[in-house]
Amino acid sequence: MTQIALVTGAAQGLGLAIASRLFAAGYAVVITDLSPERAQAAAQGLDASGERVLALKLDVGSKADFEAALAATLARFGALHVVVNNAAMTMATPVMQISPDEFDRVMSLNTRSVFVGCQVFGAHMAKAGYGRIVNMASLAGQNGGTATGAHYAASKGAIVTLTKIFAKELAAGGVTVNAIAPGPIDSPMVHSVVSAERMPGMLANIPVGRLGDADFLGDLIVQLARPEAYFTTGATWDVNGGLFMR
């Protein structure tokens, strides 16, 4: 039976790379995005036949949207086995210039999306007796961030903690919950935050001397999504070129 995977923020960038690797591994993929037009375009690019792909609008700030996405996925494919909570807001405002409203906006979107995603999709999976959830954290949540803002870094640190909480909560239902904490990846998001002038300096500080590969992150998620990965839960997987070691 084909397994079903849903990825948030999957219309472009890292989310699309993740969705593409899951699709290549044989999954039917639900591509969700705030923009239904972008989601549909990404789905068409992945599978023009539409047989193994579904595009949905999903505002990750809305619990009702998560519930609607679950219902639409079940109506189309009859099941949901894998969820990747990838959508996030990235801002690089200097810490002393972040307004309380901006702080709340970034923290709320990035942490609430993972919390509600684990809550809504996790409850369904636990009831079904099987599931795999992967939350996208960040190196910034471990080392305080360098290129990104304090609010982004704080939200990603919170995601590591939420991953542990839901891993404990859902384990008895056959659901694993893990996080991946990437360092700087060769992706549109990183290039939008780090200018071409600053890039050589950043690369010089990465022990391996280069940006990470988005497809590798997708392949790591494919591994964590396997049924055989039942003994791995509550973990944060570091993919950072040696920038953070523990």
Which are the catalytic amino acids?
152
Q: What is the DSSP annotation of 45-73? A: HH-TT-TTEEEEE--TT-HHHHHHHHHHH
Report how far residue 52's alpha carbon sits from residue 2's, in angstroms, rounded to the nearest whole number.
Answer: 9
Whether 35 contacts 57, CB under 8 Å = yes
Based on C-alpha coordinates, what's the Rg of the chain? 17
The β-bridge relationship of strands 175-182 and 53-57 is unpaired
Distances 214 to 73, 109, 155, 183, 237 between C-alpha atoms, Å: 25, 23, 21, 11, 14
